[in-house]
């Protein structure tokens, strides 16, 4: 069923990058979510009233909030499709992140409400009216929410839609929560234990955890979190597939919403190469990456010396020292400029984000260089590894 619905909108994986297809995916997922959750909410409200179960009623409220989240997903998906304008030259793709955040907030608010009601039920417990009909509705709910989890997840992954991925996490937590309600009914039926309130609190905590994770991940995207390592790896792989590119550094991804990334990178090339040939190769690499990854990229050329034995040996010595100091450290743009009294050793040192001890590292580098040759004077620029 899931595969059939998806195939109605997309015939191959390459079409996922098409904005019209992204909108179709988002609209499909949100519409299905609204219908399924509204139907489950109505059925559970009825069963909650008939059985007197707070946990069932809480689960119904949760489904109703899920339907509201699907409405938010539908609206933000359509808004993200708006074309660029003078005030937004990179488009409106980040609206999807706001939609994901709104879904997360809805989940958190409902979880807090359920937690309050669950605590009240613990203070004043009431027995449940367990029936076959109520149990059947809850089992159906688990099956439907499990299907929604798989459905949302596949749609979200196919289009990198954070709102749909958030909805998939919520659906999975709903499966666990509804299963917990079934357990409470079974325990009352078998042992006479009245633990509906405790199960309600458990449901609330599960929902709260899902909401927190959705909010956390979305805020990371809005604030500029760590980029996708697989995208970085693939960009480097494509760049290094060109014989004239000897190394890659300062690779940065600028995220303007799902499917709207712009990349920039520095490519090390031989200082002895023909500038026109190198420029043509860089242009070819930019077109290749943009076509394969649906991502514009700007590549800066960094000429390096490749045939000087002394420079290459010194570079390797400095890199080895950095690696022994911290495996996360590296260098690039290495060059040696001899002078009358001193020899300038110039390079960029790449530090992980948040690295502490920059001054101590600089002193250690200078001291090590002095052991190799007292005339060496280091000129180090410290870069941040945004990847």
Q: How do residues 187-199 score in pLDDT, each as one tens digit?
A: 777 777 777 778 7
* Assigned token pair, 288: 């290749």
Name which of 193, 282, 294 is nearest 244 in CA terms: 282
- Whether the per-residue pLDDT at 315 is higher than 50: the answer is yes
Which band of pLDDT confidence, cut at 50, 70 and 90, is reported for residue 52? low
Q: Cβ–Cβ contacts within 10 Å for residue 97, how many?
A: 22
Which band of pLDDT confidence, cut at 50, 70 and 90, is reported for residue 14? very low
The full set of domains in the chain, from first to last, is 2-223 (1.20.1510.10), 227-305 (3.30.70.1350), 308-387 (3.30.70.1350)
Count Cα atoms within 13 angstroms, Cβ side, for 63: 26
pLDDT (mean) for 154-164: 75
Q: Whole-angstrom Cα distance, residue 118 to residue 114?
A: 6
Q: Whole-angstrom Cα distance, residue 218 to residue 253?
A: 17
List strand residue ranges (DSSP E) for 203-329, in order: 247-255, 261-270, 297-304
- What does DSSP assign to residue 330? E
Is there a contact between 232 and 251 (Cβ–Cβ < 8 Å)?
yes
> Across all residues in the chain, what is the average pLDDT?
79
Percent of the chain with pLDDT over 70: 86
Who wins on pLDDT, 232 or 89? Answer: 232
pLDDT of residue 286: 92
**Residues, the chain:** 387
Q: Whole-angstrom Cα distance, residue 283 to residue 299?
A: 8
Q: Which range has highest mean pLDDT (13-27, 40-54, 342-356, 361-375)?
A: 361-375
Name which of 209, 220, 15 is nearest 97 in CA terms: 220
Tell me whether strands 297-304 and 330-338 are parallel, antiparallel or unpaired: unpaired
Which tens digit of pLDDT belongs to each residue from 321-330? 999 988 888 8
Q: 208 vs 69, 145, 204, CA distance in Å?
A: 15, 17, 6
Strand order in the sheet with 376-385: 330-338, 343-352, 376-385
Q: Whole-angstrom Cα distance, residue 277 to residue 367?
A: 41
* Assigned token pair, 291: 């076509």
Which band of pLDDT confidence, cut at 50, 70 and 90, is reported for residue 240? very high
Is there a contact between 62 and 210 (Cβ–Cβ < 8 Å)?
no
Which band of pLDDT confidence, cut at 50, 70 and 90, is reported for residue 308? confident
Given the structure tokens 């690779």, which residue do they identify?
Answer: 251
Q: Whole-angstrom Cα distance, residue 22 to residue 9?
A: 9
pLDDT of residue 299: 92
Whole-angstrom Cα Rg for the chain: 29
Given the structure tokens 């911290």, which residue do they identify?
Answer: 326
Is there a contact between 270 and 303 (Cβ–Cβ < 8 Å)?
yes
pLDDT (mean) for 37-54: 77
* Assigned token pair, 267: 């490519």
The percent helix, strand, coil of the chain (3-state, each to 5) is: 65, 15, 20
Kindly report the backbone phi and psi dihedral angles of residue 352, in degrees, each rounded to the nearest multiple of 5, phi listed first.
-65, 155
Percent of the chain with pLDDT over 90: 8
Tell me, letter by letter, the H, E, C secondary structure of 65-123: HHHHHHHHHHHHHHHHCCCCCCCCCCCCCCHHHHHHHHHHHHHHHHHHHHHHHHHHHHH
Q: Whole-angstrom Cα distance, residue 98 to residue 104?
A: 10
Q: Which range has highest mean pLDDT (68-72, 125-129, 154-158)?
A: 154-158
Q: Whole-angstrom Cα distance, residue 23 to residue 81?
A: 7
Residues 6+ apart with CB under 8 A from 357: none
Name which of 25, 295, 8, 263 is nearest 160 in CA terms: 25
pLDDT (mean) for 229-257: 86
Angle between the N-to-C axes of helices 132-159 and 162-191, in degrees from 0 to 180, rounded to the nearest 10: 160
Query: In a 10 Å sphere around its CB, with 0-12 CB exposed, 13-18 middle and 19+ buried, how is residue 119 labelled?
Result: middle
Residues 6+ apart with CB under 8 A from 151: 2, 5, 29, 32, 168
Which band of pLDDT confidence, cut at 50, 70 and 90, is reported for residue 51? low
Q: Cβ–Cβ contacts within 10 Å for residue 239, how many?
A: 23
């Amino acid at each position: 069923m899931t595969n059939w619905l998806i195939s109605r909108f997309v015939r191959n994986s390459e079409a996922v990058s098409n904005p019209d297809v992204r909108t179709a995916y988002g609209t499909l997922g949100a519409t299905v979510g609204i219908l399924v959750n509204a139907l489950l909410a109505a059925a559970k409200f009825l069963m909650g009233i008939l059985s007197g179960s707070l946990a069932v009623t809480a689960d119904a409220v949760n489904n109703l909030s899920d339907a509201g989240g699907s409405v938010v997903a539908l609206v933000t998906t359509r808004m993200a499709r708006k074309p660029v304008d003078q005030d937004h030259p990179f488009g409106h793709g980040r609206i999807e992140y706001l939609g994901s955040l709104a879904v997360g907030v809805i989940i958190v608010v409902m979880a807090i409400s359920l937690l309050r009601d669950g605590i009240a039920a613990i203070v004043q417990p009431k027995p449940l009216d367990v029936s076959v009909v109520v149990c059947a509705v809850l089992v159906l709910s688990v099956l439907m929410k499990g299907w929604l989890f798989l459905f949302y997840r596949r749609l979200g992954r196919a289009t990198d839609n954070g709102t749909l991925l958030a909805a998939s996490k919520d659906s999975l937590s709903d499966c666990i929560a509804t299963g917990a309600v079934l357990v409470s009914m079974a325990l009352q039926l078998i042992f006479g234990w009245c633990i509906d309130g405790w199960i309600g609190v458990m449901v609330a905590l599960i929902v709260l955890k899902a909401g927190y994770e959705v909010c956390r991940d979305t805020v990371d995207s809005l604030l500029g979190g760590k980029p996708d390592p697989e995208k970085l790896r693939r960009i480097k792989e494509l760049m290094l597939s060109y014989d004239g590119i000897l190394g890659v550094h300062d690779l940065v991804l600028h995220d303007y919403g799902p499917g709207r990334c712009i990349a920039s990178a520095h490519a090390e090339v031989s200082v002895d190469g023909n500038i026109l040939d190198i420029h043509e190769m860089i242009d070819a690499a930019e077109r290749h990456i943009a076509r394969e990854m649906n991502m514009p990229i700007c590549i800066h050329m960094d000429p390096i010396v490749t045939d000087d034995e002394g420079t290459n040996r010194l570079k390797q010595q400095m890199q080895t020292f950095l690696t022994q100091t911290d495996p996360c450290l590296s260098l690039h743009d290495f060059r040696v400029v001899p002078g009358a009294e001193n020899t300038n050793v110039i390079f960029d040192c790449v530090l992980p984000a948040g690295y502490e001890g920059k001054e101590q590292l600089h002193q250690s580098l200078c001291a090590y260089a002095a052991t190799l040759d007292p005339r060496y004077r280091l000129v180090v620029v410290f870069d941040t590894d945004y990847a």
